Amino acid sequence: MEQGNDLFVFDGSNETGDADWVDGGQGTDTIDLTNALDGWTVVLDNGDSFSSADAYDPSLLTDDSGTITTGNGATISFESVESFTW
Ligand SMILES: [Ca+2]
Ligand SMILES: [Ca+2]
C-alpha cells in the first residue's frame, strides 16, 4: 500500500507459474512492461484488455484492477494502478 506515485518495473524474469501481486494504493501508479517478454496481455476487471501489440491508450485506465499474463505464462495481479508504459 503505497501513498505516492509509484513505478513498478517488470524485467521479464517472471517464470511460468509465477503469480505476483501489485497494489498501487494512493497516487498515480504506473506499471512498466518495457522489458517484459513480448506476448503479454492485460485484462482489466471491467472487461477491457490490451496487449504488447497495441498502442497505449491512456483512456483505458483510471484506477483499475486486473491481471497481466506474460508471454511465458506468469501472472501479475494488480489494483489501484492508473497507467502502463511499454
Ligand atoms: Ca501509490
Ligand atoms: Ca493508485
15, 40 in Cβ contact below 8 A? no
| Domain ranges, residue 60 | 7-12+23-81
* Torsion angle (degrees, nearest 10) of CA 48, 52, 55, 58: 50
User: HSE-up of 68 (CA within 13 Å, CB side)?
Assistant: 29
Distance set, CA 31 to CA 12, 35, 40 (Å): 13, 11, 13
pLDDT value of residue 1: 52
Ligand nearest to the CA of 6: 1
Structural domain includes residue 55: yes
Structural domain includes residue 1: no
Domain count along the chain: 1
pLDDT tens, residue by residue, 14-70: 888 888 899 999 999 999 999 887 899 999 999 999 999 998 887 888 889 999 999
| Distance from residue 72's CA to the centre of ligand 1 (Å) | 27
Structural domain includes residue 86: no
| Distance from residue 85's CA to the centre of ligand 2 (Å) | 15
